[in-house]
């Protein structure tokens, strides 16, 4: 287990007070509307607020808010990299890093990157890689850093969307935007774009078909660039879930396009009078 030598060590055993709470663990209601008013079994994504170009130092940046989830992404590069092997001569490298702020989740996290964060960074890289035209940047590397300020569910899918916006804002050549969408399967019904409680809550209903699924999608090219699921589900449910996520991505597409166009217009110099 990695230990943090740079900061003052907290007592070895400290727990969040929620462990001592008398309330039982959050249980999902079996049917009916969801906690925030959205419906089950419908492609109901949370309204999304997006802004590009927030961080002036970074080449490109984006901020996304979906419900209570808040994420920020910065892109640096392309920068020259040491030539490590022959593949670097032909195309560039994409380095991704996804971190959670310690105060982002209900339980305090640590600053050292845990294995879950490494896993999410890897998923982020695999989802973005097919979309970026890395062969245009030989011997260079592009760095994408995502910071989760508040984790209120579907963090990975929003991180993917945010990162592709930041890449577009940085002027990196891409084949298409990458959009992410996730669902939580609970028995026979599903919830699109789940909140933190919906994602991690245990079900009160049947034990069958419990799982979470995240899909990264390129809308214009109709290609899936990232797919991850866990929890036990039947294959048909999984297939249906993937189709639902694709629909969710299509719903998100116009909003993201508009935000990007707005940011580009703002950044562009005014037309010259002639």
Partner 1 sequence: MATVQVSEAEKVYILHGIRDDLRVDGRSCEDYRHMEIETDVVSNTDGSAKVTLGHTVVLVGIKAEIGKPRPMVPDEGYLEFFVDCSANATPEFEGRGGEELGTELSNTLYKVFNNKRSLDMKSLCISPGEHCWLLYVDVLLLQCDGNLYDAISIAVKAALFNTKIPRVHISADDEGGKEIELSDDPYDCVRINVENVPCIVTLCKVGHRHVVDATLQEKACSVASLIISVTHKGTVTCVRKVGGGSLDPESIFEMTEAGKRVGKALHAPLMKLLQQEESLGKKRQKVGFLG
Structure-token pair, residue 235? 């294959």
Site for partner 1 in 6-35 (CB under 8 A): 15, 19, 25
Contact 129, 45 (CB under 8 A): no
Please select the residue that binds partner 1; options are 36, 41, 80, 230, rule is CB under 8 A: 230
Which residue carries 């919906």 as its tokens? 198
129 is a site residue for partner 1 (CB under 8 A): yes
Please select the residue that binds partner 1; options are 33, 102, 106, 231, rule is CB under 8 A: 231
83 is a site residue for partner 1 (CB under 8 A): no
60-66 and 48-52 strand pairing: antiparallel
Q: Which stretch binds partner 1 (CB under 8 A): 37-45, 59-67, 76-84, 111-119?
A: 111-119
How many chain residues are in contact with partner 1, going by CB under 8 A?
37
224 is a site residue for partner 1 (CB under 8 A): yes
Q: Which stretch binds partner 1 (CB under 8 A): 28-36, 96-104, 160-168, 236-244?
A: 236-244
210 is a site residue for partner 1 (CB under 8 A): yes
Separation CA 217–CA 10 (nearest Å): 42
CA-based nearest residue to 66, from 165, 145, 142: 165
Q: Which stretch binds partner 1 (CB under 8 A): 53-61, 127-135, 147-155, 188-196?
A: 127-135
Side-chain half-sphere of 185: how many Cα atoms within 13 Å?
26
- Give the per-residue SS3 of 103-149: CCCCCCCCCCCCHHHHHHHHHHHHHHHHHECHHHCCCEEEEEEEEEE
116 is a site residue for partner 1 (CB under 8 A): yes
Contact 96, 144 (CB under 8 A): yes
Which residues in 130-199 belong to E strands, given as ranges? 140-150, 179-186, 189-192
221 is a site residue for partner 1 (CB under 8 A): yes
> Smallest distance from the beta carbon of 129 to partner 1, in angstroms?
4
122 is a site residue for partner 1 (CB under 8 A): yes
Cβ contacts of 34 within 8 Å, gap of 6 or more: 40, 191, 195, 198
Smaller CB separation from partner 1, 148 or 178: 178
Please select the residue that binds partner 1; options are 73, 159, 242, 259, rule is CB under 8 A: 242
Please select the residue that binds partner 1; options are 115, 220, 272, 274, rule is CB under 8 A: 115
- Give the footprint of partner 1 on this chain (CB under 8 A): 15, 19, 25, 115-116, 118-119, 122, 126, 129-131, 207, 210-211, 213, 218, 221-235, 238-239, 242-243, 246
């Amino acid at each position: 287990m990695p230990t943090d030598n740079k900061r003052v060590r907290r007592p070895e055993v400290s727990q969040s007070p929620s462990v001592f709470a008398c309330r039982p663990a959050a249980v999902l209601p079996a049917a009916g509307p969801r906690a925030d008013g959205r419906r089950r079994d419908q492609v109901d994504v949370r309204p999304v607020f997006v802004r590009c170009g927030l961080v002036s130092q970074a080449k490109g940046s984006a901020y996304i808010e979906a419900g209570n989830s808040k994420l920020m992404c910065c892109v640096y590069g392309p920068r020259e990299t040491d030539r490590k092997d022959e593949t670097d001569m032909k195309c560039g490298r994409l380095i991704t890093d996804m971190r959670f702020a310690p105060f982002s989740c209900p339980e305090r996290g640590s600053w050292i990157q845990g294995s879950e964060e490494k896993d999410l960074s890897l998923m982020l890289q695999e989802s973005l890689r097919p979309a970026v035209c890395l062969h245009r940047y030989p011997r260079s590397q592009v760095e994408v850093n995502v910071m989760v300020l508040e984790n209120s569910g579907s963090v990975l899918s929003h991180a993917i969307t945010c990162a592709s916006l930041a890449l577009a804002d940085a002027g990196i050549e891409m084949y298409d935007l990458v959009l992410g969408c996730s669902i939580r399967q609970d028995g026979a019904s599903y919830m699109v774009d789940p909140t933190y409680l919906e994602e991690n809550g245990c079900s009160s209903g049947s034990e069958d078909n419990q799982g979470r699924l995240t899909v990264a999608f390129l809308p214009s090219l109709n290609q899936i660039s990232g797919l991850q699921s866990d929890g036990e589900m039947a294959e048909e449910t999984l297939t249906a879930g993937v189709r639902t996520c694709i629909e969710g991505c299509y719903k998100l597409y116009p909003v993201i396009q508009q935000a990007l166009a707005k940011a580009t217009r703002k950044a562009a110099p005014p037309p010259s009078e002639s």
